[in-house]
Amino acid sequence: MNLLVLTSTKGSYNSIRPEAEIYISLLKFGYNITIMTQQNSEYASRFREHGIKIIDEHYKKKISPNTIKKIRSVIKKENIDIVYAANSKSISNAVIACIGTKVKLVTYRGTTGGLYRHDPSAYLNALNPRVNGVICVSEAVTKHVRKQIFSKSKKVETIYKGHDTSWYDTTPVNLEPFGTNNQNFNIAFVANVRPHKGLIYLLKAAHKLAKYKDIHIILIGENISQEPYISEIKKSGMQEKIHLIGFRNDAPQIIASCSVLVQASTRKEGLPRVILESLAGKTPVIASAIEGNAEIIEDGFNGFIVPIKDADAIAEKIIQLYNTPERLKEFSNNCAYTIENKMSHRTTTEKYNNFFNALIKDKK
């Protein structure tokens, strides 16, 4: 099968890896793969090492005549069977490029919401009749997409973007340069912060944690040193024990060195990568009850699910794990089980292969 992938591989190696490794693993099923992506990205050289053809593309516009022409040219030259468009700008260009061709067009959807029948832009995305299939990153996303599509023949399926524990160096790092130490009960929070990431609720929870001398919070990511977060940190009583360390390429190792990760998003999460990275490093997660989180975190097994926007509940679960180290250890042991059995890269690749083959066999 000849597969053309349209995607962006800009970003850190760890952030790209769960998607990029799918294409490499599909080679064992006999695929001939061409990827239109940034040829100078970190993953492009790894693709080339495995015999995947790279065509340089940066997807700067939703509708680009040059990009559309390039896609059509590759479809014809490489005798493409399936085009898989994996980000929004590649999808809109692919929809137009595939008109008049016999290829099957598959799109990716990674967030709940944002795709509605009444929105004209949705018809340059998954709702376009030219789209034959949609791969959704979680059941929550699949549910949303199915409510919006008109055609019952469009194949819509959940395929988790799985991970592999062997990808991560989870050797604990020394936390002292960040202002704490590895013997403390350290709470990790990772995000390039926007309001819906819910950082404010962890900081409000910190008011109830202040009396515990060895509880520290490590905040990893961009856009944290601003209001209202700085004021909330100052009011928390934990100002000296809340550590802002900015963006880090070694975030998975830092998370693996912590006691627990808090993921407090209030909306718009398909399948949060940071939770999967945390589980791969055997660090339990306290997560808000948005649908995507609840598909990964089993309450009372590998972490806790708490109500959305509930700072008191976050504090309560942190204190509970702080006071019961034996339960924290049990949760930690269950984290790797989730990755290896429910969220494995191997299963992801097999499902992608089955999805693509089913489309090719469909004569409709």
Q: What is the pLDDT of residue 363?
A: 53
Burial (CB count <10 Å: 0-12, 13-18, 19+), residue 104: buried
DSSP state of 257: T
The 10s digit of each residue's pLDDT in 134-189 is: 999 999 899 999 999 988 889 999 999 998 888 876 778 999 999 999 999 999 99
> Which residues face 260 on adjacent strands?
187
> Which residues face 231 on adjacent strands?
none
The CA-based angle 280-282-283, given to 5 degrees, is 110
Peptide bond into 129 cis (omega under 30): no
Q: How far is CA 256 from the centre of its chain?
A: 18
Q: What is the pLDDT along the chain (364 residues), one digit of tens a residue?
A: 999 999 999 888 888 999 999 999 999 999 999 999 999 998 999 999 999 999 999 999 999 999 999 999 999 999 999 999 999 999 999 999 999 999 999 999 998 888 999 999 999 999 999 999 999 999 989 999 999 998 888 999 999 999 888 887 677 899 999 999 999 999 999 998 899 999 999 999 999 999 999 999 999 999 999 999 999 999 999 999 999 999 998 898 999 999 999 999 998 777 888 999 999 899 999 999 998 898 899 999 999 999 999 999 999 999 999 999 999 999 999 998 898 888 899 999 999 999 999 999 875 4
Q: Which helix (H) or strand (E) holds 27?
A: none
- The set of long-range contacts for 118-126, using a CB threshold of 8 Å and a minimum separation of 24, is 122/148, 124/62, 124/63, 124/91, 124/92, 124/95, 124/96, 125/88, 125/91, 125/92, 125/95, 126/91
Query: Would you state the structure tokens that stand for residue 362, as one six-digit string?
Result: 């469909």
CA distances to 63, 228, 317 from 313, rounded to whole Å, are 45, 21, 6
CA distances to 75, 116, 214 from 322, rounded to whole Å, are 56, 43, 10
Residue 360 CA neighbour count, 13 Å, CB half: 15
Task: Dump the DSSP string for 174-203.
Answer: P-GGGT--TTSEEEEEE----GGG-HHHHH
